[in-house]
Structure 1
């Protein structure tokens, strides 16, 4: 039994190291005249999802990036091994106070991506609460999932040469995402007008 458990643990650890949530490498060359950059936060139980169109005409395809929700990200966050992946977006209050977002078995981290300017980007987040099981005296089982929520999908159109950050928020009313435009190298931000779907 111990050998079987250890084998599953090793396999899971190796799988976590192999699974990534990255955009195609050929799209990650930053040109401030044709592209923008975006920072997404994630952690175990709190993923941020982005959908963006890459390419032109018949070569266009839709890419979906899930930061924090894939098995590798969730497992790395669970073990506190997740690392930030930066491509040079200036630090903000959210990155400087990132450890305040950590939870029990859930280390917060971020990843930055190059995205095409002038094309709509969709983002949303989720919060996956803890589950519990209760056995009924009369027989049967009840399954509870406490605190789950998913935000609306919001859409914005990035401008060339701009840096963006997706803030994820959760309170008693639910969860939500906000898009910030990082205006200067000192991390000052402003809200980006968004459309909901």
Structure 2
């Protein structure tokens, strides 16, 4: 009888622990993912858990490092995917590439609800460049996928940082973003917020 009660207790504990683990998995927010595009001559940096570029949790150089530049120049750099659906941008990498500058993408996990900043710029000895670094800040939502690409109009020399949400079918929805400054502004000191 004791043996039977002992086995029943073990099964009851296992069932309770399994149900608890499933509840924790259900309660945990789904992560977000971000795809960044790069190539030789393009600098793309991700700053996590911030709304500025001076204070951040982590700085990730997705494009523009020496290793990425050589890989892109030699055509040997590889895409790194976390499973974000294909989009027209990711399918059109060959159209984004140039001589000695193979386009590629890298995907990163994001923490939902924590603002991130993406900073991008372009420049090369051949003369194509953006006149300044461009920054955009946005806050990822749980379970959502995003992609960021730097587009350049070479005839007019205009650079634009495009931040899009990626739908399950690969279609893109333009995100409303705001430029990020170098210094973070405390919430209480932000313009329009204060005691009247």
Using the size of structure 2 for normalisation, the TM-score is: 0.70
Give the superposition deviation at 1:174: 2.3
Give the superposition deviation at 1:183: 1.6
**1:91 maps onto 2:86 in alignment:** yes
SS at structure 2 position matched to 1:95: helix
Pairs within 5 Å for 1:3-82:
33-53=29-49, 62-82=57-77
Tell me, yes or no, if the aligned pair for 1:168 and 1:176 is still in contact at 8 Å.
Answer: yes
Number of equivalent positions: 147
Pairs within 5 Å for 1:145-184:
146-149=127-130, 150-171=132-153, 172-184=156-168
Q: Distance in 1 between matches of 2:57 and 2:66?
A: 21
Q: Distance in 2 between matches of 1:159 and 1:106?
A: 33
Using the size of structure 1 for normalisation, the TM-score is: 0.69
Give the superposition deviation at 1:106: 0.5
Q: Distance in 2 between matches of 1:104 and 1:169?
A: 17
Instruction: Structure 2 unaligned segments of length 5 or more: list them.
Output: 1-26, 181-196
Supply the RMSD in Å over aligned alpha carbons. Answer: 2.0
118-127 or 105-114, which moves further after superposition? 118-127
Q: Distance in 2 between matches of 1:175 and 1:84?
A: 23
Give the superposition deviation at 1:147: 3.1
**Structure 1's 87 and 32: CA in aligned 2 closer, same or farther, altered over 3 A?**
farther
Give the superposition deviation at 1:148: 2.6
Give the superposition deviation at 1:53: 2.2
Alignment correspondent of 1:115: 110
Larger radius of gyration: 2
SS at structure 1 position matched to 2:100: coil
